[in-house]
Structure 1
């Protein structure tokens, strides 16, 4: 079990709110330190969205919204164990 750092609950809230608002761009992934996953979401949203008239952006926004709800509904200890100790990048 990972130690609960005072910044972890702040990152949990910030990642959750950014997942709701900017989820399609993967900002919540960058906040948690998952740069490759955030970059994948960003590229799919921007490049894919330009070729599919925004459909892939809407899909990525939905993924960000679902992940934000998961982040906000976890307890702080469970959040730290899942995303900082076990390094689970998706869902």
Structure 2
């Protein structure tokens, strides 16, 4: 028996091409729908993240600002924002200043680091939520 004998009655060579075209249309339509669903899902998650920022759940402005004002000499506000290197620098300078406080330079060093923390705390609190988020959490600006 040859291949021609095994064909389904009424099946024409043009039907194969038509079936393949229909399958391709269906696959393209499925792909387009999947892409549309993925885009909608991405848009919704972006909106949720923006709402977190504007509602303050992901914004550390108030905490960092107050810690900068009250504990700025120890760099606590830097650690809150994720700036470990800068926080360690401020902490080390403060500890060195405290240790050398019997010498005049130690008090000056501790006072200078505390002043930097105070200024940064005030800057944090005077920025808008969006500006603070873009500058210090997205842009990762470590100083002032």
The correspondence for 1:84, drawn from 129, 134, 137, is 137
Pairing 1:7–2:58 present:
yes
Aligned-partner Cα distance in 1 for 2:65–2:137: 15
Which structure 1 segments of 5+ residues have no match?
A: none
Query: Which TM-score applies when normalising by structure 1?
Result: 0.88
Question: Which of 115, 119, 122 lines up with 1:66 in the alignment?
Answer: 119
Q: Which runs of 4 or more aligned residues in structure 1 lie more than 6 Å from their structure 2 counterparts after TM superposition?
A: none
1:35 alignment counterpart: 84
8 Å CA contact 1:16, 1:68 repeated in 2: yes
Bigger CA radius of gyration? 2
- Cα RMSD after superposing both structures: 1.6
Q: 3-state DSSP class of the match of 2:67?
A: helix
Contact 1:34–1:89 (CA under 8 A) maintained in structure 2: yes
Count of aligned residue pairs for this structure pair: 88
TM-score by length of 2: 0.57
Per-residue CA distance 1:7-47 (angstroms, 9 max, x = gap): 21xx1101111111100000000011101100000001111
CA distance, structure 2, for counterparts of residue 38 and residue 24 of structure 1: 10
Q: Deviations over 1:50-75 (max 9, x none)?
A: 22332211101000000001000000
Match of 2:71 in 1: 22
The equivalent of 1:57 in structure 2 is 110
